[in-house]
Structure 1
């Protein structure tokens, strides 16, 4: 079941998503002894992490039992401002008492000779962790309805049956990326899609109509949440 929750603006989306995420992480640790969370980039995604960093709920979580993953990454050098994990590090991760071994970063271009190698290594890391059913998997939504680095009409999305993918010729720069595939995304207990702004309104509507776009192909096994601001929801 897809549930749509509409907030006043992008800041309200980020603040509420941060609170939801921290509560979900705490619940997963309490219930199962571990939480696996997949983070996303983008304005609202990083805004969510900034809000989480400032929340008093952060101090109530046993971060030694939390594992952080990413839905996609730009295949550039470690330390490049384009990397989602670097933005997440700045926004939240550096402030957490989380073991380095619990932070599962996708490979960079200075570590691997190709995006294929980085994608294969990430798939192996996921397998070594027991192919987790992600407790929360966060996704941003592009104005073309892409999620992670799965783009409409792109060969990777058209044949996205692998755990991870190397993505070349991305219509959004940088052109080379690494992404989770649909089987990995849709293994999540909960998938949360965050979107804000009128520029996302068509993509939100197309995705919720399941119009053959990547945003329409993602669902959690237990719950799918679309967390929107009023502008992004105008075409629903």
Structure 2
């Protein structure tokens, strides 16, 4: 494993394969949860969908240390959600439940899902309801929780959550959750958290694999405009880490290696 950092304190952790990466991220995730909850403190976590989002959660379940976590102290959220039926395979929450949440002793009231389509709320109402749910756990600084860990996937276009390049959603700062219509990536209707919510997280962990992500990673590390490359604007208050496989790291300069991390 190698680790790299930039002057902006964005670190890149490289593992050989997606499988090794998922195992490594899961182990670090459990370390953070253990540290956060050992004295009875609540840990809020934002999950992501996609193949790696699921792979990390499955690796978390396989890890023997998962049995040491008091899951009643962990609250789960999602950085974005597809506005589809609750049992639709595209739904991030369904993927997360199948990978981890249905197999651990987490109280149902700790699992904060975006409303599904076909259950009485419009897309706009679903976004407003999610913002209201976030506000129930707000801090003195803002009307949303500060996530102990916020997982984000990164698209080949550099999008994070459902904040896509050169769209208005990525620039919004006066709302916690937004409806997304005509998404460049199907399904077309989604609910997304905004940059202020994501960046209030203590740790933002971006997990990406594959050669098709190499360009987006390179641009994000090079300080591209977040309106053009939303991943470039993701920044945790304590740590921002890009967890990548060797294929995705092909355009990362080796002189940025920080073996001490």
Normalising TM by the smaller chain, what interval? Answer: over 0.9
How far apart are residue 169 of structure 1 and its match? 0.8
Query: Normalising by the residue count of structure 1, what TM-score does the alignment of the two structures yield?
Result: 0.97
Look up the SS of the partner of 1:88 in the other structure: helix
| Selected match of 1:214 from 225, 230, 253 | 230
Q: Alignment length, in residue pairs? A: 236
CA shift, 1:160, in A, is 5.1
More deviation, 30-39/214-223? 30-39
Deviation at 1:158, TM superposition (A): 3.6
Whole-Å separation in 2 of the counterparts to 1:162 and 1:92: 30
Structure label with greater radius of gyration: 2
Matches within 5 A, 1:80-229: 80-130=88-138, 131-159=144-172, 161-212=174-225, 213-229=229-245
Q: Which moved more, 1:26-35 or 1:61-70?
A: 26-35
Q: 2:66 aligns with which of 55, 58, 62?
A: 58
- Preserved contact between residue 48 and residue 80 of structure 2 (Cα < 8 Å): yes
Give the superposition deviation at 1:124: 0.5
Residue 210 of structure 1: how far off its partner (Å): 2.2
Contact 1:186 1:218 in 2 (8 A): yes
Within 2, Cα distance between the matches of 1:31 and 1:191? 23
Segments of structure 1 that go 5 or more residues without pairing to the other structure are: none
Deviations along 1:69-113, whole A, 9 cap, x unmatched?
110000011111110000110011010101000000111112243
Q: 5+ residue gaps in structure 2?
A: 1-8, 139-143, 253-261
Counterparts of 1:51 and 1:63, CA distance in 2: 16
For the aligned residues, what is the CA RMSD? 1.1
Deviates more, 1:26-35 or 1:55-64: 26-35
Q: Which residue of 2 aligns with 1:7?
A: 15
| Cα separation, 2, equivalents of 1:111 and 1:134 | 28
- Pair 1:20 & 2:28 matched: yes
Give the alignment's TM-score, normalised by structure 2.
0.88
